[in-house]
Amino acid sequence: MAERTPLVFVHGNPENAAVWGPLLSELDRADAFLVSPPGFGAPIPSGFDVSATGYRFWLASQLEAFGRPVDLVGHDWGGAHTVQIAMTRPDLLRSWVSDGLGVYSPDYVWHPLAQTWQTPEKGEELVAQLFEGTLTERLAVVDGLGMHGPTGERIAAGLDAEMSRAVLSLLRSAAQPFMSDAGRGLPNAATRPGLSLIAGADDGNGTAAMHRWAADQAGAKVVVLEGLGHWWPVENPVPAAAALREFWSTLD
């Protein structure tokens, strides 16, 4: 029997690997590997480059350790990192899935929260308010974002000052025109099968038109998760699980 392709999930901001719990249960894939970007559920190593480019190199190093191409799935910033790998290191992938393609559209504008994080002083004040309060306060933040129940509790427990530092440094490194410039490499991602997941009720990662433009550039299939918001893996993972199974079945 052929060995199964490694399945790797990478999450985003402000998250830890707990965000994948409901989706993994729906997929029934206990063999999946969950990698946590430094500062987002994992310590930030001394000297680590906390930037969009630094995280690209970090994720490449994680995938190189498998010694064979993987199926990579990314959410939020994890989705943006996934696309970076597809554009620059397709040799590490059998396939890729991202809900963040829209941020690479040339007309993408960062959402208001990100713009505040990118603003000196205002950004520091906001991350302290969101991520560094009491557990009760952090639970309220996560609940307000749309992550509820046990998964939300595990994510709230992981919000801390180190995540604050990572959020500010990452978002500031990605201020425009960084993302639109990086998007010029989208055609390179077409060398590996890709899937763009579009959460129908979320425009934080770009409009549906931006996602579709970027998906076309990257040669990726498109699936719309109708009525679901940014935290679709927690809100309702069933449609995404079905889309992932269908996508992976075309690779076998």
Residue of higher predicted confidence among 252 and 82: 82
Range(s) of the domain holding residue 104: 7-110+175-249
Question: What integer is the mean pLDDT of 35-57?
Answer: 98
- Structural contact between residues 120 and 192, judged by C-beta atoms closer than 8 angstroms: no
Please indicate, yes or no, if residue 137 is contained in any of the structural domains: no
Rounding to the nearest 10 degrees, give the CA dihedral for residues 210, 215, 218, 222.
170
pLDDT band (50, 70, 90) for residue 122: very high
- pLDDT reported for residue 203: 86
pLDDT of 1 > 70? The answer is no
- Return the percentage of the chain with pLDDT > 90, whole number: 95
Please indicate, yes or no, if residue 156 is contained in any of the structural domains: no
pLDDT of 252 > 80? The answer is no
Please indicate, yes or no, if residue 158 is contained in any of the structural domains: no
pLDDT of 207 > 90? The answer is yes
Please indicate, yes or no, if residue 196 is contained in any of the structural domains: yes
Residue listed under structure tokens 């899935």: 97
- pLDDT reported for residue 3: 81
Q: Exposed, middle or buried, 79 (CB in 10 Å: 0-12/13-18/19+)?
A: buried
Please indicate, yes or no, if residue 140 is contained in any of the structural domains: no
Please indicate, yes or no, if residue 134 is contained in any of the structural domains: no
The DSSP line for the chain is -PPPPPEEEE--TT--GGGGHHHHHHHT-TT-EEE--BTTTB---TT---SHHHHHHHHHHHHHTTSS-EEEEE-THHHHHHHHHHHH-GGGEEEEEES-GGGGSTT----HHHHHHTSTTHHHHHHHHHHSS-HHHHHHHHHHHT--HHHHHHHHHT--HHHHHHHHHHHHHTTTTHHHHHGGGGGGGGGS-EEEEEETT--TT--HHHHHHHHHHHT-EEEEETT--TTHHHH--HHHHHHHHHHHHTT-
Residue 125, amino acid: E
Please indicate, yes or no, if residue 233 is contained in any of the structural domains: yes
- pLDDT reported for residue 30: 87
**pLDDT tens per residue, range 146-159:** 999 999 999 999 99
pLDDT of 2 > 70? The answer is no
Please indicate, yes or no, if residue 123 is contained in any of the structural domains: no
**pLDDT tens per residue, range 158-188:** 999 999 999 999 999 999 999 999 999 999 9
When the pLDDT of each residue in the chain is averaged and rounded to a whole number, the result is: 96
CATH at residue 26 = 3.40.50.1820
**pLDDT tens per residue, range 5-31:** 999 999 999 999 999 999 999 999 889
Task: Give the number of domains in the chain.
Answer: 1
